[in-house]
Structure 1
Amino acid sequence: MKHQQSSVYVDLQQYQLHLRRLIPLQGVLNPVLFLHGAIENGRIFYSQSGKGLACYLADHGFIGYCADFAGRGLSQPSLSTGFNQSQHDVITRDIPALIEFVYQQHQQPLTIVAHSWGGVLLAASLSRFPGLIDKVRAKVYFGTKRVISVRSFERKIKIDLLWNRLAPWLGKKYGYIPAKQWRFGADNEPTRFLADTINWIKGAPFADLTDGFDYAAASQQVVWPPSWHFAAVNDTVLGHPLDVQYFIKETAQQDGKYTLLGRAQGFMQDYDHISMLTHPCAKQDHFAQLKQWLNELAE
């Protein structure tokens, strides 16, 4: 492992956001902020043993900041204390604060890497606060979709039954979504946040569920920084390639790169929603391509 890890916190008064900072041992390059998706935390990008995209990039000179959204991971307080949060809070408060924090640390634009729902929140935040875009060098999305349009038995189980019915019931019972305890996620989820995601997943307009801000319209007016969208062949529900492409179109990011990760496309594996970030072969496949792209942008 060619980097060191430590924890830092962004204090937002009512709560503190945890960031796992990965510092290269030699030749620090550009900063990278990592944003996780629903029912997970920043560990999707790193491990203490050196696995994951953030570790890979840190070993090649990119200083990483893997965020835990409020109540998740090592952020404080935990959801079990009664803490709750909406999507509106993440979009209007947390993501801007994280971008500002990393920017202030290095005084240079940062790359933002998002997995799944984290990419939806990122696009919403940047379209709402376009002034932040000057502080963003590039955006990278892995399996990011807003609407789940695919119809299948797997969708009925994972989305219609588990996410749309069981999870809200658990939220009423526990005060938060105990996804980790019930083994359908890597971390727990705030009840209000879950309710917001259900509306968008079902196809409600891309508008803020708290104050009505029209993210779809705002996205059309944004001059986006360079972007790269990854989808996976075996991502059959949570980030189906067709839904990823719909998200790209809805947010006017057609000028960005799009890559489908599968053997037929020349990659070593037919990746899925999680393995696109965790499979050992990813280092030789798209991680290496991403590193080269980021190096080219930095020149």
Structure 2
Amino acid sequence: MQSNFNEETYKIQTTNGMQVLLSRVNTLGHKTHAPCVFMLHDIGQSSALFNHPDGLAHFLAQHGYDVFMLDLMGREGTWPRVSKHMNYSVNQAITVDLSKVMAKIERLNALPSIYVGHGFGSVLLSSFIARMPEFNKNISHFIHFNARRLMTLPSKEYSFFKDVAWFHLAKIQASLFGLINSKKIMLGDAIESKVFYEQYLMLTNGRWVDPIDEFDYACALNKIKFPKSMYLVEQDNDYLAHQQDVRAYIKELGNHNAQVIWLSKKSGSLQNYKGNKILNDPKAKDDHFLKLAQWLKS
């Protein structure tokens, strides 16, 4: 059966010969200057979570949006492969990669008006808003999935995943191989550079300050008006986004229009979404996807 979607990919040259991958999806009959959405994945994940037959990218494309998704270094389609010699950092992702990608999107359509961030992807995009205002002048809405910056220890389950998986197993990989293969420790499907992983730990366990040049993201965010935001949070999964951490993150972003939707049956959802299913479960299009589509048009 012929697809009603138009899908394209672009390799974006960044620095030192590196290339990240930008994917685009819209409908065959979409308007030339349709509202533009940009999505960024969590650490250890890829844009495949969005770009799924039942995923958010196709859902928004069906509703008339021109959707772009970025794969940072270490994902399929990026170049070169991550190795122990690669010095790929959070600073580069924010100051170089996102800037280059936004310039490409602007040439293809217009700067995005809607951001979608999953987990640490939300933190990276919020940091980008704080640091690169020239690329964020059109942002009106921000959708955050299981987003938090600081990782606290409110439960045994949360402590296990944080300490054993993200700390001990990942650090062993980093020490032995100079990289982190999140698939081998059952936390994702991507490979992260040692530098990127270590800076991720610094940003999720301390001040919101750039590990390389000490740019103070928290301070910068409190000097600007942050976009209207919707936070969709898996309510019964403490290690991904505990309510305490979500609320702390919202507060860090400064005074802004924030709506939180806790996703669970007891809070009115069609089902209890587990892990990445928050982004691509078949029932989501009749549940929280529909709510965010209505919110975007409100």
Instruction: Judge same fold: TM > 0.5, yes or no.
Output: yes
- Cα deviation, 1:133-163, whole Å, max 9, x if unaligned, reads 2132321110110111133222232111211
Q: Is the Cα contact below 8 Å between 1:133 and 1:225 reproduced in 2?
A: no
Q: Which moved more, 1:130-139 or 1:210-219?
A: 130-139
Q: Is the Cα contact below 8 Å between 1:80 and 1:176 reproduced in 2?
A: yes
Partner of 2:271: 269
Tell me the SS of whatever aligns to 1:135. coil
User: Residues of 2 paired with 1:258 and 1:288: CA distance?
Assistant: 15
Matched, 1:83 2:96: no
- Cα deviation, 1:199-226, whole Å, max 9, x if unaligned, reads 2322x11111111111111110011222
User: Residues of 2 paired with 1:231 and 1:96: CA distance?
Assistant: 28
What does residue range 20-31 of structure 1 map to in structure 2 within 5 Å?
Answer: 20-28=23-31, 29-31=34-36
State the 1:265 CA deviation.
Answer: 2.2
User: Residues of 1 paired with 2:111 and 2:128: CA distance?
Assistant: 19
User: Residues of 2 paired with 1:66 and 1:254: CA distance?
Assistant: 25
Q: State TM-score, norm by structure 2.
A: 0.92
Q: Is the Cα contact below 8 Å between 2:265 and 2:271 reproduced in 1?
A: yes
Q: CA RMSD in A?
A: 1.8
Could you tell me which of 292, 295, 298 is aligned with 2:294? 292
Matched, 1:33 2:33: no
- Cα deviation, 1:94-127, whole Å, max 9, x if unaligned, reads 1222222212321354311110000011111111
Check 1:58–1:81 CA distance in 2 against 1; reply closer, same or farther (3 A cut): farther
Matched, 1:177 2:176: no
Partner of 1:72: 75
Tell me the SS of whatever aligns to 1:114. strand
Partner of 2:261: 259
State the 1:51 CA deviation.
Answer: 2.3
User: Residues of 1 paired with 2:216 and 2:141: CA distance?
Assistant: 23
Partner of 1:231: 233
Question: Which stretches in structure 1 are left out of the alignment for 5+ residues?
Answer: none
Tell me the SS of whatever aligns to 1:6. strand
Check 1:144–1:11 CA distance in 2 against 1; reply closer, same or farther (3 A cut): same
Aligned partner letter, 2:187: F
Aligned residues: 293
Q: State TM-score, norm by structure 1.
A: 0.91
Question: Which stretches in structure 2 are left out of the alignment for 5+ residues?
Answer: none
Matched, 1:53 2:56: yes
What percent of counterpart residues are identical? Answer: 27
Q: Which moved more, 1:112-121 or 1:287-296?
A: 287-296
Q: Which moved more, 1:182-191 or 1:280-289?
A: 182-191
Q: Is the Cα contact below 8 Å between 1:77 and 1:83 reproduced in 2?
A: no
- Cα deviation, 1:229-258, whole Å, max 9, x if unaligned, reads 211212211211221111010121542222
User: Residues of 1 paired with 2:158 and 2:219: CA distance?
Assistant: 29
Q: Is the Cα contact below 8 Å between 1:148 and 1:238 reproduced in 2?
A: no
Q: Is the Cα contact below 8 Å between 2:183 and 2:190 reproduced in 1?
A: yes
Matched, 1:62 2:65: yes
State the 1:66 CA deviation.
Answer: 1.4
Partner of 2:214: 212
Could you tell me which of 15, 37, 43 is aligned with 2:48? 43
Tell me the SS of whatever aligns to 1:166. helix
State the 1:80 CA deviation.
Answer: 4.2
Check 1:170–1:253 CA distance in 2 against 1; reply closer, same or farther (3 A cut): farther
Q: Is the Cα contact below 8 Å between 2:263 and 2:273 reproduced in 1?
A: yes
Aligned partner letter, 2:217: Y
Q: Which moved more, 1:118-127 or 1:99-108?
A: 99-108
